[in-house]
A and B are shown apart, each in its own frame.
Chain A
């Protein structure tokens, strides 16, 4: 297994091109935290249960991502700043299919 390259735009608009491991059972929210691209306490508040939307991000590239679960749909329906391309980072598992993924972190709310 190898790393995939992901482009993440942080909440200040800075673009980070980072390597995300596919073999560590990580999700996108955890990758953002491990690279400290958003201050601790402002992302991944619920720990990854799709219950807080603090890891909301916009998917900019046209990757085919797995369908949203009912939990993710429900949480996004109650979140703010939601767009059609909104996803919860904690629900996006890092796999080899994500090579070249581009996302932007949604504003803190």
Chain B
């Protein structure tokens, strides 16, 4: 059982900044995120896009913003449960909560802050008959352990970075890698595109474009995929395979949180604007996942909400303590790792 003061669901910018504000109050945080890395949409959808409305940053790449936030919260040693989706919540007799992920990891905390953005990212699945039948039986949407594909015949479909990168990676592990994409053009980092071109020339990757996977075959497990290549005429190809990996990106779904007994309005969790608490005392919702009159889905609003949430959480955990907010310029930042940052003392020296 993982125990912490504030359990944050969602490791996007809002969730990450909450760690900092909680840390200033000496509250520890642990974050759960369905994605394998921190940063939420900023890392998953648009890491290379510039953002222009983060106060104090005339321009910052979404990926860099996440890196900066990770650096900023490092002294507060947040814990992470990544690649797992928060599934169940159970209120304890003492008012605290136990949150269990889809993999069974349990987390215990007096405060739960949902910073889930638009929800947890689920793989977008191609529209193919019998898809379900072969899931985890030849078909996977996320590559967890590349060793599974050693000496196997693999077909990858998709035209983005992950399709390119995994084709390159698996070219040295699998016995056969076939990359199928609807167009000849790929959307990815230039060096990935060039590497796939090189591997194709060397015969290490078989490229079928413009083409689409149209069917799946196999008795109990996946044995072959049918591919339709559309150039001037239509060519149907069947390839013997062990594995098919469709990589068509991820789309967010509110998911199990929708069943936690929280007031939901238009795919968002209703909160008050005093402390961003939901209808369940002790559960807060901050950032894009919440809604209230005048709500704007902006990172900078999420930062504000995270800050007020932490103040309220502190009062909830320590109802008898009196607390006065301290500026970081005055109090500095004292990390849980023993680090201490503070403003340098002014020089006081007489002038003769």
Contacts of A73 in B (CB 8 A): 183, 185
Instruction: Please name the residue on chain A nearest to B291 by beta carbon.
Output: A40
Chain B residues near A49 (CB, 8 Å)?
A: 45-46, 49
Q: A42-60: contact bitstring with B at CB < 8 Å (1 yes, 0 no)?
A: 1001100101101000000
Tell me if A66 is interfacial: C-beta within 8 Å of chain B: no
The digit string for A16-53, where 1 denotes a CB below 8 A from any CB of B, is 00000000000000000000000111100110010110
Specify which of A42, A46, A52, A78 is in contact with B267 (CB 8 Å cutoff). A42
A109 sits at the interface (CB 8 A): yes
Are A41 and B251 within 8 A (Cβ)?
no
User: Could you say which of A39, A51, A80 contacts B126, with CB atoms under 8 Å apart?
Assistant: A80
- Give chain A's interface secondary structure class: loop
Interchain CB contact under 8 A, B46 and A46: yes
CB contacts (< 8 Å) of B24 on chain A: these are none
Partner of B268, one of A41, A71, A75: A41
A77 at the interface (CB under 8 A from B): yes
Chain A 69-109 per-residue mask, 1 if CB under 8 angstroms from chain B, else 0: 01101110111110000000000000000000000000001
How many residues of A are in contact with the other chain, CB < 8 A?
21
Chain A neighbourhood of B349, CB < 8 A:
none
A109/B185 contact (C-beta < 8 A), A41-B266, A51-B46 known: no
- Whether B159 and A74, one on each chain, are in contact in the complex, defined by CB atoms closer than 8 angstroms, is yes
Check A78 against B248 for contact (C-beta < 8 Å).
Answer: yes
Bound complex: CA A74 to CA B159 (Å)? 8
A-contacting residues, B181-204, CB 8 Å? 181-183, 185-187
Interface size class of B (residues with CB under 8 A): 20 to 34
* Interface residues of B, dominant DSSP: loop
Tell whether B252 is near chain A: CB-to-CB under 8 Å: yes
CB under 8 Å from chain A, chain B span 37-57 = 41, 45-46, 49
Q: Does B73 contact A (CB under 8 A)?
A: no
Q: Across the two chains, which residue of chain A brings its CB closest to B181?
A: A77
B127 touches A81 (CB 8 A): yes
User: Cβ of B300 < 8 Å from any Cβ of A?
Assistant: no
Residues in B153-190 with C-beta less than 8 Å from chain A: 158-160, 181-183, 185-187
Residues in B226-279 with C-beta less than 8 Å from chain A: 248-249, 251-252, 254, 266-268
The answer to whether A80 touches B248, judged by C-beta atoms less than 8 angstroms apart, is yes
> Which of A52, A71, A75, A81 is in CB contact (< 8 Å) with B251?
A52
**Nearest chain-B residue to A107 (Cβ)?**
B127
Interface status of B9 (Cβ within 8 A of chain A): no
Contacts of B49 in A (CB 8 A): 49
Which one of A41, A75, A77, A81 contacts B254 once the chains associate, using CB atoms below 8 Å?
A41
Whether the pair B124, A77 counts as a contact (CB closer than 8 A) is no
State whether B251 touches A39 (Cβ < 8 A).
no
**What residues of chain A lie closer than 8 Å to B251, measured between beta carbons?**
45, 52, 54, 109
- The 6 closest A-B CB pairs, nearest first, are A41-B267, A74-B187, A40-B266, A77-B183, A77-B182, A40-B267
Interface residues of B (CB under 8 A from A): 41, 45-46, 49, 118-119, 124, 126-127, 158-160, 181-183, 185-187, 248-249, 251-252, 254, 266-268
